[in-house]
Amino acid sequence: MQTINFIISGLGGQGILFMTRVLAGAALDRGYDVMGAETHGMAQRGGSVISHLRLGRVRSSLVRTGCAHFMLSLDATESCRNLPFVAEKGGLFSNTSGVDFPPPTLHAYLAKQRIAVHTAPAADMALALGAPMSANLALLGFFSAFQNHPVATADLRRTIAGLSPSRLREVNLKVFDKGVGYGKQRDQGSAGSGMRGH
């Protein structure tokens, strides 16, 4: 089975660990072996957080520089900081509420590495549904709308339903679905084929 590497990045308090658990659970349901590690300030609200997730038969839980097939980032600054993890022809999915991303200084690098950039105002989507702490699920939904990755929208949605506390389950799924809808409006054929800004 092919090894697939994820980097999930953001700031403390944005739900990076929950995103990782959802991706890992959905991948397990698809029959993948899963190994992961959370590093850098997980307990510190506002601090830099990065989570490594590897699917397939792997010996180490850490993703090496230049080897992440996908990076999901809840913070544009963290997207820039952790960009070296993304492999050539990899995909970057970033929450860009309130910012213009990617910055011009990265355009040449992204084009040279043929990294596909997909952006969504995930925080704004979550806020609009009265769930400002659920931008992570909007970004997951956005990511799931693209078709060149190992977990399907239905897998992620089912995992979110299973992991969410009952009082939050309905709104979590609404936020996720809103992200899916936003992603489906975008060019689904562009992932992995060079820099795209949405």
52-81: per-residue pLDDT in tens?
999 998 888 999 999 999 999 999 999 999
The domains of the chain, with CATH numbers, are: 4-184 (3.40.920.10)
Spatial distance between the Cα atoms of 151 and 104, rounded to a whole number of angstroms: 32
Q: What pLDDT score was predicted for residue 99?
A: 87
**Exposed e or buried b for every residue in 23-55, given b needs 16+ CB within 10 A?**
bbbbbebeebebbbebeeeeeeeeebbbbbbbb
Q: Which of 11-15, 99-103, 122-126, 186-190 has the lowest mean pLDDT?
A: 186-190
Residue 178: CB partners within 8 Å, gap ≥ 6? 125, 126, 128, 129, 138, 141
Spatial distance between the Cα atoms of 142 and 149, rounded to a whole number of angstroms: 12
194: number of Cβ within 10 Å: 14
pTM for this one? 0.90
Q: Which of 29-38, 99-108, 123-132 has the lowest mean pLDDT?
A: 29-38
